[in-house]
Amino acid sequence: MYTINTYNWLCHFFVLAAIYLEGTDIIKKVRLKDIVVGIALGLVFLSKQSIGVYCLITYAILKLLKERKISKELILHYLCSAIGFWTTLIPFIIYLINNNCFNEFWDLCFCGMLSFASDNLLSNYGVAFIGVALLIFNIINAVICYKNNKKFELTMSLFNIAFIGYLYPIFDTSHMFFGILPSLLLVLNTIWKAVRKNHFLASIVNGCYGIFITYFLVIMVIVSASLIKKSYQSVKYQGRDSFYNYTFGFSEDYIKLYNSIYDYIQQKKLEGYDAVAVTPYAPLIFMSHNDFNMKYDILLTGNFGKNGDQNVIDYLEKLEKPLIIHSYQYSYQESTKIHKYITNNYMKIDVFDDALYEVYTKE
């Protein structure tokens, strides 16, 4: 789970890059430094929008604390970093507008968070406790660093506070893992300062620090290599079966299953049905055919936008002659509300793969 190739690792990389660039003098020219940090923050936003927003707010506060007053210099910092940030984002925004999907992007990435949080905010109290403890630690450390003018440690503490935002809106172990990673660097640094006179203990802390950095760098190499490989393969292999083999590594049985479901859906459409797949695994059915399942391709709570899973129910109710391919495997992010709506209001008429996927329609 923690080495899977996702945007989470890219987000970590860009945040740590922003911390390093902002907290050190590796770039001597101040204006250039602001622009490059802005670019890094733009890449954070593109990797994970919620963390991108938190980091932007953090950066604005950090610059104000460093300047200690609102001044012309502070405004110049903001303007130069904004140039870098928007230079990164503008091509992405143009793409969304050109494809008439900017509103959907806004709805799914921002408006949907509040609906999602209402069901998942306190799903794990132990994880919530760890998150609050690290939040308090970073706040205290930020206050101390500010008073002692330790700019790099102040930068790390404030960005760590932003990164704890990974725990919102799901307090689970996976999101906790990603949320606390940057804080571990600061915790290790604090422990090292406390025990540095004891060479044995200091060496243990240094060893942990080295393991942490090595682990992160290895993961980044794996993620980067895998993304490059899959990008190449997705261009090279265009056939139905080869898509699954080279992109997901599925067995022949799964390839046949997903292809048969897709063919079934297309046949039912020709018969006049409004055939749709209401399952988190819809991309596996549609992607190899260069097809899509509206905005419900990844049917997990948190991906529905404003009003949550009610959007999906409203969509299904509008179908004149519905035929629904549905699966419910009791994942915590699958919608119980949608599952109950389908099973209570539609009739099951067929199954695929020993009832892993079920077919429903109106009587």
List, for residues 238-260, the tens digit of each pLDDT value.
555 555 554 555 677 778 888 88
- 179 and 283 housed in the same domain: no
What is the structure's pLDDT at 284?
Answer: 80
Other beta carbons within 10 angstroms of residue 295's beta carbon come to: 17
Residue 1: which pLDDT band, with cuts at 50, 70 and 90? very low
Does residue 1 sit within a domain? no
Does residue 246 sit within a domain? no
List, for residues 134-163, the tens digit of each pLDDT value.
888 888 988 988 888 888 888 888 888 888
Does residue 242 sit within a domain? no
Q: Helix (H) and strand (E) counts for the chain?
A: 15, 4
> Of 230, 260, 288, which residue constitutes the final position of a domain?
230
Does residue 238 sit within a domain? no
- 213 and 296 housed in the same domain: no
Higher per-residue confidence, 314 vs 1: 314
- 299 and 213 housed in the same domain: no
List, for residues 330-363, the tens digit of each pLDDT value.
666 777 888 889 999 999 988 887 667 889 998 6
> Of 195, 230, 265, which residue constitutes the final position of a domain?
230
- 210 and 341 housed in the same domain: no
The whole domain housing 315 covers 251-361
Does residue 226 sit within a domain? yes
List, for residues 266-306, the tens digit of each pLDDT value.
999 999 999 988 888 888 888 777 777 666 676 776 667 77
What is the structure's pLDDT at 42?
Answer: 94
- 99 and 182 housed in the same domain: yes
- 187 and 153 housed in the same domain: yes
- 208 and 290 housed in the same domain: no
14: its two tokens? 């860009």
What is the structure's pLDDT at 271?
Answer: 92
- 46 and 194 housed in the same domain: yes
Residues in contact with 1: Cβ distance below 8 Å, sequence separation at least 6, in sequence order: 174
- Secondary structure (3-state) at 38: helix
Query: How do beta strands 322-326 and 357-361 pair?
Result: antiparallel
Does residue 43 sit within a domain? yes
Does residue 239 sit within a domain? no
- 212 and 270 housed in the same domain: no
Question: Is the confidence at residue 173, as pLDDT, over 80?
Answer: no
Q: Count up the domains in the chain and report the number.
A: 2
- 122 and 214 housed in the same domain: yes
Does residue 178 sit within a domain? yes
- 25 and 149 housed in the same domain: yes
Alpha-helical regions (H) of 69-164: 72-98, 102-106, 112-120, 125-147, 151-163
List, for residues 44-65, the tens digit of each pLDDT value.
999 888 888 989 999 999 999 9
Query: Which range (88-92, 229-233, 261-265) has the least confidence?
Result: 229-233
Residues in contact with 21: Cβ distance below 8 Å, sequence separation at least 6, in sequence order: 27, 33, 36, 37, 40
List, for residues 49-106, the tens digit of each pLDDT value.
888 898 999 999 999 998 888 889 999 999 999 999 999 999 999 999 998 888 888 8
- 281 and 219 housed in the same domain: no
Average pLDDT of the chain, as a whole number: 79
